[in-house]
Amino acid sequence: MMLIDTHCHLDFPEFNQDRKEVIERAAEAGVAYIVNIGSSIEGSRRSVELARDYPFIYATLGIHPHYAKDVEGRVPEELRRLAKEEKVAAIGEVGLDYYRNLSPKDLQKSLFLDFINLAKEKNLPIVIHSREAHKETLEILKKEFKSGIRGVMHCFSADEEYLKECLDMGLYLSFTCNLTFKNAKGLRALARKVPVERLLLETDAPFLAPQEFRGRRNEPAYLTYLVKEHARIHGLSQGDIARITTHNAGALFGLPLKEEPKIAYAIRDSLYLNITNRCTNDCDFCTRNKGDFVKGHNLRLEREPAVGDIMKAVGDPLDFKEIVFCGYGEPLLRLDVVKEVAGRLKKKGARIRMVTNGEGNVIHKRSIVKELTGLIDRVSISLNVDTEKTYDKVCRSRFGSGVFNKIKEFTKECRDAGMEVELTFLDLDGVDLARCEEIAKKELGVNCRIRRYNVVG
């Protein structure tokens, strides 16, 4: 497991006795990068020093709103100079804190604005601290970042409405180890609402140690407790949470991660095969248009893998509940490869599923279902919508109109060939989900699954 602690304060005096050991323990626990957060002039300076000393530590520059009055609401010259340092990954933590209100509100605001301008000038993301000042924080962010914001709302706690606003602005969110507290039910319910694609891990060490060490000093190695909690909350494996949040942190802070394109990629206990990036549809909602990654896996192939490459990438298929032809393209465009790979995996005792747009017969200008019989156990066919008209409009098959009905025919053939078939639909605006269910169950006699259009994998 490879983890990133995106927010801790190893410069604090709590670590003066054993800082080196704490950093070593973090590395042993799988923490590949640490973003050490500056929260004062001295702390920012010390963060930069730590980043110089350790290749896997990055620094941020910030002044906690508590100290806004000490700097008269202005970013000090020293921090402007430090912003030129190579390993400064962000501005923060900065923001507003009306809970303890240790500095006047107007000075907190002017300091926050000054830091926002520095972040813009240096093209750096921001790490935001907001306590009892959510409305004012949002107001400032909305005004200052009209075209989206690169940043994280750290140590998240509040309500669902605020959470939604933060997500709409494009922010990442992070929860600290207080998510593991026995009495943190409300916070866990909130965390469940955050798409994992927007989640970061943070300890905020030395503060907020996990339940097991509650009241004692926190440290980056304890990130593993947070991973366990997130895995439970999101119904993913710990490896999934680690990989996804590491990818997110790398993307936000510009950390040098090696994320090679994947032919085979695991999510939960299934192994997915990405054998082509080509597709015969050009769907509005296609995740390929949104980026290269699904659940932290890079799916943008540099070239299409041969059968041998695929078999090598699978390893032992019995390590997984099922092997799924899926990926960033339509697997049936490579029918021969599907047949060959499925045949070899079947001999090893694997259970095989295929996710397809259902256009296999149209692509090959013949019925191909017989050729797949005995090789594919389960097939998930993406019909996506309830009517031909909508299909033509949002899925834009290269075969033009009429494909909707051809997919239904393909579905029937798969069913009749004894495969376990499900039709999948998306909860897009204007799609009648009751009608979708009727098509699957009544008309075609197969299973029906409604997917949330923005959840992939």
Work out the angle between the directed axes of helices 223-234 and 185-192 (0-180°, nearest 10): 60
Stretch that binds Ni ion, among 188-196, 203-211, 299-307, 321-329 (CB under 5 A): 203-211
Residue 74 CB, nearest distance to Ni ion (Å)?
A: 21
Select 197 or 204, whichever has its Cβ closest to Ni ion: 204
Select 5 or 386, whichever has its Cβ closest to Ni ion: 5
Contacts of residue 3, defined as CB under 8 A and 6 or more positions apart, other chains included, come to 29, 30, 31, 32, 201, 223, 224, 227, 242, 245, 246
- The residue from 204, 219, 240, 422 that contacts Ni ion (CB under 5 A) is 204
Q: How many residues bind Ni ion (CB under 5 A)?
A: 1
Q: What is the DSSP letter of 14?
A: G
Residue 202 CB, nearest distance to Ni ion (Å)?
A: 8
Strands (E), 9-112: 31-36, 57-61, 88-97
Side chain identity, residue 319: D
Stretch that binds Ni ion, among 71-79, 200-208, 233-241, 255-263 (CB under 5 A): 200-208
Residue 37 CB, nearest distance to Ni ion (Å)?
A: 5
Largest Cα span, the chain:
76
What is the distance between the alpha carbons of residues 35 and 53, in angstroms, rounded to a whole number? 13
Question: CA separation (Å) from 106 to 19, 111, 302, 365?
Answer: 36, 9, 52, 70
Stretch that binds Ni ion, among 105-113, 198-206, 267-275, 439-447 (CB under 5 A): 198-206
Select 97 or 204, whichever has its Cβ closest to Ni ion: 204
What is the distance between the alpha carbons of residues 200 and 180, in angstroms, rounded to a whole number? 15
The pattern of x and - marking residues 141 through 180 that bind Ni ion according to CB under 5 A reads ----------------------------------------
Residue 200 CB, nearest distance to Ni ion (Å)?
A: 13
Residue 9 CB, nearest distance to Ni ion (Å)?
A: 6
Select 204 or 422, whichever has its Cβ closest to Ni ion: 204
Q: What is the DSSP string of 247-308?
A: HHHHHHHT--------SEEEETTEEEE------S---TT-GGGT-SEETTEE---SSPPPHH
Select 115 or 410, whichever has its Cβ closest to Ni ion: 115
Select 204 or 229, whichever has its Cβ closest to Ni ion: 204
Select 5 or 204, whichever has its Cβ closest to Ni ion: 204
Q: Pairing relation of β-strands 264-267 and 270-273?
A: antiparallel
Residue 95 CB, nearest distance to Ni ion (Å)?
A: 10
The binding site for Ni ion (CB under 5 A) comprises 204
